[in-house]
Amino acid sequence: MSDLPRKAVTRTVKLAALPLGFAGRATWGLGKRIVGGSAELVARELQQRTAEQLFRTLGELKGGAMKFGQALSVFESALPEEVAGPYRAALTKLQDAAPPLPAGTVHQVLAERLGPDWRELFSEFEDKPAAAASIGQVHRAVWHDGREVAVKVQYPGAGEALLSDLKQLSRFAGLLGPLVPGMEIKPLITELRDRIAEELDYALEAESQRVHAEAFAGDPDVVVPDVVHQVDQVLVTEWLEGVALSEVIADGTQQERDRAGQLLARFLFSGPARTGLLHADTHPGNFRLVTDEDGRMRLGVLDFGTVDRLPGGLPGPIGRSLRMTLDGDAEGVYGHLCAEGFVKDSVELDPDAVLDYLKPIIEPAAVEEFTFTREWIRGQAARIADPRSPAHQLGRMINLPPSYLLIHRVTLSTIGVLCQLGATVRLREELEEWLPDFSPKP
């Protein structure tokens, strides 16, 4: 019954064609150069064609392919401008859009999950999806009690598709690596694969969303729509009106960008403290800028399918390490990193070199307010990616303990979005309020 391309052989053929396409375009580019084409123009056209094929394929397949594309899209701001230009439009399309399932398939899923009389639960139901993502799509509707709701319907065969895609993508992770300098693609794919079961479990997602909705009820800065109804593969939540963060990135005023950035940083650090959960799917399609009747802008948060469980909030060692780095305590931060497993027992590093490595990364926390830009994050990416750089060599010797993997990715993703926004943010203010052990002791 599924309209999602889910047969392993079909999906494998589509994904396997990607590296072949890359190689073919490289040969074509060489040919153009031989006959006198401008190197710059040839490179730009080659990047454009590569972007179009890569993200068209990822978007068509949905599943793990699109999930990977969305995870990659938030790092677009780290790409060098000559590469980012052709890729930016294709990446942005993945952030909150994908080819929809036909209405007949959606109706069949709803009849199976909600019962043959499913229409009686709704006063209205729009067949055309309002949004489509990696494992499901959302329809706007009116619940039988008059509330406007979002009906999230999981694609039939989504689990099989996710596993198949990510397995195939991991096989040519090395070819995808150059898309984002300094980022390890294979660990990203592994982590996405490890969280498939959680992502597919709408009961778990509903519980995470309820916890957030209760914690942020009446909050002046963050709004989380409550859960209305949930059954296997169908999740009904309150409808949230607002401007998608991807639209703010594309066309927002500076005031909107700064406000969205500040609230995104606030949610990143306050969420775990208030709920014991870390929202771990930080791409612009999951956030809205909601303007209240009094003109106040709040951050609307959607999609709680992937969370990290942090009962005590963010780990105290993060705040302590960050504070020691800001204070210039090389010996202290190095000893702390060793104790927490960031430096393996078999490795010995120069504490001053470690401090020099960390200081540029934490620059946004060293000042009262910081403007996140694409230029800044590109500089960080280039510093870490260049094999000749001391930062690159030292970075290869620093270990990331498994318990920090998701926190690390969410933090990097959030910084990527802040750079896409070009937002000026009072980050230190949020750290002092919400990050355990960061504030200096009196």
- Side chain identity, residue 348: E
Q: Residue 411, exposed/middle/buried by CB under 10 A (0-12, 13-18, 19+)?
A: middle
Cα angle value 421/423/428 (rounded, 5°): 135
Beta-strand pair 227-231/307-309: unpaired
Q: Is 180 helix (H, G, I), strand (E, B) or coil?
A: coil
- The answer to whether 279 touches 307, Cβ cutoff 8 Å, is yes
Q: Which of 258, 281, 303, 308 is catalytic?
A: 281
- Residues in contact with 418: Cβ distance below 8 Å, sequence separation at least 6, in sequence order: 261, 264, 265, 372, 425
Contacts of 94 (CB under 8 A, 6+ apart): 55, 58, 59, 66, 69, 70, 73
Residue 14: half-sphere exposure toward Cβ, Cα within 13 Å: 23
34 and 26 in contact (C-beta within 8 Å)? no
What are the φ and ψ backbone dihedral angles of 307, each rounded to 5 degrees?
A: -135, 155
Active-site residue, 281 included: yes
The sign of the dihedral angle between the CA atoms of 92, 97, 98, 99 is negative
DSSP code per residue over 296-342:
-EEEEE---SSEEE-TTSS-HHHHHHHHHHHTT-HHHHHHHHHHTTS
Tokens of 435: 């990050």
Q: Across the strands, what pairs with 297?
A: 291
Distance of CA 34 to the CA centre of its chain: 40
Give bridge partners of residue 234 from the DSSP assignment: 153, 231
Question: What contacts 250, CB < 8 A, 6 or more positions away?
Answer: 92
Q: Which residues, other chains included, contact 12 with Cβ-Cβ below 8 Å and sequence gap of 6+?
A: 164, 168
Query: Which of 211, 319, 336 has its CA nearest to residue 275?
Result: 211
Phi, psi (5° rounding) for residue 216?
Answer: -105, 10
Residue type (1 letter), 169: L
CA distance 355 to 350: 9
Closest CA to 169 of 297, 298, 18, 360: 18
Report the residue count for the chain: 442
Active site residues: 281
